[in-house]
Structure 1
Amino acid sequence: MGVAFVAALLTACTALGEADDEGPNANRFLGDITGSLSPNGLPKPASFDRSPQNGAPRGYSDYGSSTPMGAVGGQTPRGITDDGQRFSINFADVSVQDFVRSVFEEVLHENVVVDTGITGRVTVRTATPVSKTAAIDLIKSVLSGVGASLTEANGVYRVSQRGGGDPQSGGQRSFRAFQLKFIDAEQAKGALQAFNSEGASMSSIAGGRVLVATGSEVDLDRFQQVLQTLDIDQMRQRSFALVPLREAGAASVAGELNTMFKSEDAKGFQALPVERMNAVLLLGTSQTGIQRARQWISHLDQAGADERRVNVYPVQNRRATELAGVLQQMIGSGGGSGAIVAAGLKEKTVTADAGMGGAQIAGQEATVAVASSGSQGSGLGGADGIAISADPSTNSLVVVATPDDYRVIEKAIRRLDVLPTQVLIEATILEVTLNDKLRHGVRWYFESGNNAVMLTDASGKSVSPILPGFSYIYSAPGARAVVDALEDMTKVEVISSPALTVLDNQTATLKVGDQVPIATRSAVSVTDPQAPIVNDIEMKDTGVILSVKPRVNANGLVQLDISQEISDVVQTTTSAIDSPTIRQRAVTSSVVVQGGTEIILGGMISAKRERTRSGVPILMNIPIVGEAFTSNAIKDAKRTELLIMIRPVVMTSTSDVSSITQEIRSRMMASPLR
């Protein structure tokens, strides 16, 4: 059948009714058997593990039930004789059809018909052996979880889809049955609710003596751990509750509860700490006392006012290392991204372990520094030993502080951890050919018309180019009109037209061009005349290099730190060095404009000069006297001016980003390429 399972049919060695009276450590019948697949894919015959003593099966000493399930809370199903037989079931990731057929045909030896439409995969385990009645009920619970039902008629079982129900297929579901000895299923469900997670569910079968849980393997292992703690002889005929704690320690809360209820002379009440779960087990003779103890726990489960705790804050919008530096300066302990300790205090280590339901930082133990001295330090609000560190892998902040101090720090984190402002930089780099009309440059053209030009120097407060030049502020349509006007008089070439988005107070850099090898140093041996010349080569960026750093204030004004360079390679004519010359035009400027306003930076004029030599043919080439028949001249072949048009657009939300993106897309579709 190709299905991996463990199923055992064991025969009781002693009367089951007598086992309850012997206590949990009695050598009662609770067998263990292991089965596996044979080479042909079928289950191997069951093998018994018997101890040498009396030939009895090896017993489960700490957890299980010896009460016949058919005799508790209901009648035995028709066609099933519950004679005390027990089964251990263990199926891992099998199809529902294989699970049902294996249990009925190979274990229960009953006839079953399964509809072909039943789909899905399940994992089913019994924590301890269960009776045949409980096995049937377990199958019903599993089928109910996958949208199917089990019916029986004339000794034949049939599995079919529930009428009007949608079968849950395609997923893998895990089931586990827990046979209870001293507590009933409803009590167990109430205790497990505190440890329940989303997606897990519980139900009772076999008259409330077997609890069936559905969920992940982690949830089911947690349930089994809790039930092993609760299903003991001391719980018989008693009310109880297992309450997990979030802040306080289990031992301290249990001690405080016992002290309070002892003073009230509450007979039969006891609070026991469960350290490995950080929970308190409440025992009493009535539910009233248990409920009162729960109310007290809600008040006692608080961290001490002076107790330092490890708090992890996941940063959403900024780098955790940046926030760590800001917070460290805020509490007066300097910068850096490591943990800090207030001055004059000793350092010790606090570790945050992943307990039940907890999580570790980056899959490891988080270690931070905490002050152990009681002296007063220079921390936040006079608190000593505040430690702040960043975990770059999860972009989280780890803060060790008292609850009061952490509340202040958390408020500051929330104010700082906001969505950063973004700035769209639309830049156009133009090269204007200067002809007779523009022989004095574009600046002269602006000043000669009706335009109000803004001339600045390095001391200006709003626009201040560091290199000699000029600046002009236009609205976006006006700047385009200037370009159109220049095109009517001369040739205007667009060198680059980038559009890039950058975070506030961050630098955006655009490079379009090549890297050129430049010889920076030459060396040759002075002792060996045959030694070669060794050159040091440095790669130099050439082409268009634009660097912009925006800073946005609360009024929407944008300060731009602009660095622009246009460079190309020309032949070296001033020396004999075999290395090219980089000809460049650069501007560095700081401007302040309103968002959406376009600025023009210019004034960088370049002239290409040509050297010509003419003369009388033949005679001009005669040595010495040839210069008398030669004429040398230098003339400007081409004069150009570089203009930089920049338009910053502030984006404060994701809707702004979407609308501006749509605007750029519409512009590109509406404007034909030239």
Structure 2
Amino acid sequence: GGYGGGGYGGGGYGGGGYGGGGYGGGGSSYYQSIQRAYEIVDIIKYTIRPETWYDEGGEGEIYPFGADKLIVSQTPEVHEEIGRFLEQIVKGLGNQVAIETRFLVVDENWLEDIGLDVSLNHLTLGSKWTPLQFGLGVVEATKPIATSISNSLTARNAANPAMSFNLAYGTPLDDLQVSFMIKATQMHANSSMLTAPKLMVMSSETGSLYINKETYYKSNSELTTDTVTGGTGLAYSVSYWDHENDTINTGIQMDITPTITADKKYVLLNIFTSLDDILGFGTETTTAFTANGTQVSDSYELPVTEQTQIQTRVSVPDQGTVMLGGLTLAAENDIEAGVPVLAKIPILGRIFSNRSGVKDKQILLILVKPTIVLKEELEADAVAALQD
């Protein structure tokens, strides 16, 4: 035997690990390369003449030397087997996978608010009766309420109705004064957002993609009181709100490890993806007392976030598209208000009632398309280009 040195393709076997996800975890730093070197050592001991190694009672030994070399003490036959094993690893290092992703968010929002409000402002029944007044108020009672889905159409969107008019009968001197208010609004909104990042990754390596937006917000508020000495030498207390600011990251994060199969027709994808979004802001109020006992308060807004995560392992044909996952959110708010009994009268009941409705739907789709880029094909294309 004797010692032999063997390089193994610039620092590593795989990156997503042995067998498409067992060992290791991607990246190209020095320490990760050292970790892969030890993984290579373990694989060689377990697969090439296991009984000949020192750990199993034999005389053979193998150690990593730096991040890209091995020191081996073994028989010539084992040296040849290790050499062939490393050659197979090096052959696979040049193959790459082009990853195309699609994050598609589709929103569909609908609002309807139709109603009639009748008010009897003055009705004289006789000289011994006080004038009669009443109002239904059903229009205000059925203002549309937003759902929990983002971009919901609310009463703020319907503040200026598509159609409205007021009709009044009578003057202040008449025995009868009646006013009618009709309001009608119907809204429909569709929106879609497509994010399509692309990434080129070595086979069995891990690629990471981040598309983030950083949002600053006031996260806390605390009343602070300090003692200040004025020009006259008198001390007095000053209270102020001390604010804490924070940041939140929203956007897309994806870690993907593609592994090309032996027949080079399929790609095994080990994927983790996360989509973070801000749905809105909620108001937080802090109350405190000053030095003289006065109660004061401060309000600030905190973000309401939504996170969608998918982790999976799938097999996809070359240039095929796979839907990793989908999420459909649907919500509906219907409000109806009216005068008891009168609101149930056919046809006439519409005068004494009002209704509104809000419907929202959101669909999230995550699509991935891998394309195998073989080293041999790239070399052939390069040679053909030179010949032309």
TM-score range, shorter chain: 0.3 to 0.5
Bigger RCO (CA 8 Å, 6+ sep): 2
What TM-score, normalized by structure 1, do the two folds share? 0.29
Normalized per residue, which structure has more helix?
Answer: 1
